[in-house]
Amino acid sequence: METLDGMGYVTAGFSFLVLGMIVFAHAWYAFIMTFTAGVLHAVLALIHDLLLVVILLELFRTIINFLKTYVITLEPFLYIGIIASTRRILTTGAETAYSENLTHDQFQRYLLDVGLNVLVIVALVFAVYLARRRAPTDAAQLG
């Protein structure tokens, strides 16, 4: 059963790696194809896709670390949350910037969405700080 469990992690990790490479290649292809239509839109889309690649690679690295140590750490998931919230801010910002008929209500929702994502980022950065601050204490207790 443990072997099957390990194989599940290996296949999931390999899938994250392959998907990351596919998204990376597609992101650059889309960037090259849309660059002439609008530089700003092409760059924002590329950044959005590259941040997704970083998330996929972070998941891959988390699985690799788990297979080496059999310990799941909190920090990679905090980083993924920070990156995901940053992606959301960029996406909503790009959508708002390209919206021709932006109503007052839509703008208010945009501000609320950005504000909530900024709060999530601040909370997750604080959690990273606390996790790092606590880590040496845990290592000292184990030794």
pLDDT of residue 5: 84
Amino acid residing at 48: H
Rounded to an integer, what distance in angstroms lies between the CA atom of residue 53 and that of residue 25?
10
Q: What is the pLDDT of residue 135?
A: 67
pLDDT recorded at residue 143: 47
Residue 49 tokens read as 């896709």
CA dihedral of 123, 124, 125, 126, whole degrees rounded to 10 = 50
Task: Report how far residue 36's alpha carbon sits from residue 40's, in angstroms, rounded to the nearest whole number.
Answer: 10
- The residues near 75 (Cβ < 8 Å, ≥ 6 apart) are 128, 131, 132
Under DSSP, is residue 38 helix (H, G, I), strand (E, B) or coil?
Answer: coil
CA-to-CA separations, 102 to 99, 110, 128, in angstroms, rounded: 6, 10, 36
| pLDDT at residue 136 in the model | 60
Low-confidence ranges of the chain (pLDDT < 50): 139, 142-143
This prediction has a pTM of 0.80
